[in-house]
Structure 1
Amino acid sequence: MPISLHAPPVRATLDRLFAAATLDDQRPVRTTTGTPQELADARESLYLPISARGGELLYALVRACRPETVVEFGTSFGISTIYLAAAVTDNGTGRVFGTEMSTAKIAAAEANLGEAGLADVVTILAGDARDTLADVPGPIGLVLLDGWKDLCLPVLRSLEPRLAPGALVVADDITMATMAGYLDYVRDPAHGYVSVAFPVEDGMEVSCRADATK
């Protein structure tokens, strides 16, 4: 079976986006306080991507567990979405539900997915993930948490009733101090997860929903 991650349209799109993301430090941020929507709008020019190695890890995990439903909290310009969508496409089954508050980023992400030839397997939901993900049907086989760090745990808790047994939950940027509460939760066996940190850039936590009765 071909690996679409290496196909020219996908590779060229990812290379272009990663190159653009290197300029994030030069892009202005209008405000550092406000509502989640105001913060999202203030950062609509920032790519805030996962690392390439983190993307490859996501691709491998989706290929291995073959989820019918993938949820992504924090789509941004769609870099991580492309990795997820490539894996779903190569599996021949499944759909990715992304979430994003910035309308400008949604338009850009949809254009980038179209450029990569992967738009058909992705739905991007506009608005606060705590609201928009409420209607995503279960069972959910894989979740990527890469939005606002203080919302990662509330988003996970809202999805837990719909997680498939053995579902994987991947959280990015675990070296950030604001991820401490999330990590305490998934690393506590009382909450039903088996959780492992992966040493990719900024760190990723991969947690298996091993006991769905918790």
Structure 2
Amino acid sequence: MTKPDPFSVLTDSRVARVLRRLHEEADEQFFGLALHYLSKLPALLLGRKVALDDASALRSRYFADKFIALERPQGAFCHQTVRALRAKLVVEFGTSFGISTIWLAAAVRANGGGKVIGTEFVPEKAARAQKHIEEAGLADIVEIRVGDALETLRVLPGDVDMALIDGFPQKSVDVVKLLRPWLRTGAVVVADNVGVMKGDYRPYVDFMRDPRNGFTSMLIPFKSGTEYSVRTPANPDRTAEAKAV
């Protein structure tokens, strides 16, 4: 059986060309990243916390040129999810160099247009992501907000159809709590690296799988585990109150 091509879901050859190149650039960094995390392997295998916080990451120039991106099948899956939802507004926590942003924005454009709001803590990374997004011809679909997502995502232009959680793990629960009032019933939240960084994402997984928090959630088998969550009906009075804060 022929191995499926993740890029086959794309309808724009320009987007596909840019994504192929960016994924190849990310592949070239794999062994360097693996060596960098080698000392953390025992903690990863034991499900302990290993992630840097945002201040440490900003000081560490090692990560300044690192993609740390979705894998190709993950990107295609997120793209197809956006298409299935007929999403018009997508929010991304952790843009990095824009690979995932391009997958999402291409789907929003294929849906007839809308907006992808990305967030990036490091200004240099945001600038490079913007360049890649422009190269893919998607600048009119994407807005990148630079800084702490807990500040930059306080106000959104409407109900959110999908969110991608791919930033600093220790902020993931707070980001979802911030987004929750904006997530429409049936909205999807996808979180990367949940299986790789079990210790760092344990609070997030616990939160998303507690039905009292307004989601149903499960692990799907991308990159050792990606959390897939669906927004359940919310209390309209509490939602309106939260949006007004």
TM-score by length of 2: 0.79
Task: Tell me the residue number matched to 1:9.
Answer: 14
In structure 2, distance between residues paired with 1:172 and 1:33: 13
Asked if 1:150 is matched to 2:170, the reply is: yes
Question: 2 CA distance for matches of 1:115 and 1:4?
Answer: 19
User: Retained in 1: the 8 A contact 2:88–2:111?
Assistant: no
Relative to structure 1, the CA distance from residue 88 to residue 41 in structure 2 (aligned partners, 3 Å threshold; closer, same or farther) is: farther
Q: In structure 1, what is the equivalent of residue 224 of structure 2?
A: 202
CA RMSD of aligned residues (A): 2.2
Matched, 1:182 2:188: no
CA separation in 2, counterparts of 1:186 and 1:4? 29
| 2:117 alignment partner in structure 1 | 97
Contact persistence 2:52–2:168 (CA under 8 A): no
Alpha-carbon shift at residue 196 of structure 1 (Å)? 2.1
Identity %: 39
Structure 1 position 4, deviation (Å) = 7.8
**Alignment partner of 1:120 is 2:140:** yes
Kept in 1, the 8 Å contact 2:53–2:170? The answer is no
Work out the CA distance in 1 between the residues paired with 2:183 and 2:11. 30
Q: Find the partner of 1:106 among 111, 122, 126.
A: 126
CA distance in 1: counterparts of 2:72 and 2:59, whole angstroms: 25
* 8 A contact 2:96–2:125 mirrored in 1: yes
Q: Which letter does structure 2 place at the counterpart of 1:12? A: R
- 1:50 Cα deviation after fit: 0.6
Structure 1 unaligned regions, length at least 5: none
Length-normalised TM-score, structure 1: 0.90
Q: CA deviation at 1:82?
A: 0.6
The SS at the match of 1:134 is: coil
Q: Report what 1:26 is aligned to.
A: 32
Unaligned runs of 5+ in 2: 1-7, 37-49, 239-245
Query: 2:154 aligns to what?
Result: 134
In 2: Cα distance, 1:8 partner to 1:56 partner: 14
Equivalent position of 1:173 in the other structure: 193
Contact 1:99 1:129 in 2 (8 A): yes
Aligned-residue offset at 1:60: 0.7
Matched, 1:85 2:91: no
Aligned twin of 2:54: 36
Q: Which string of whole-angstrom CA distances, capped at 9 and with x for unpartnered residues, describes residues 13-40 of structure 1? A: 11111111123343798xx998614413
Contact 2:9 2:80 in 1 (8 A): no
Write out the 4+ residue segments of structure 1 that deviate beyond 3 Å after TM superposition.
32-35
- Displacement after TM superposition at 1:187 (Å): 0.9
Letter in 2 for 1:122: V
Corresponding letter in the other structure for 1:200: F
Aligned-partner residue type, residue 102 of structure 2: I
Encode CA deviations 1:114-168: one digit per residue, 9 max, x unaligned.
Answer: 1111111000000000000112233111110000011111100011111111111
8 Å Cα contact 2:101/2:118 also seen in 1 = yes
Which of 62, 67, 70 is residue 90 of structure 2 equivalent to? 70
Q: Is the 8 A contact 1:172 1:202 kept in 2?
A: no
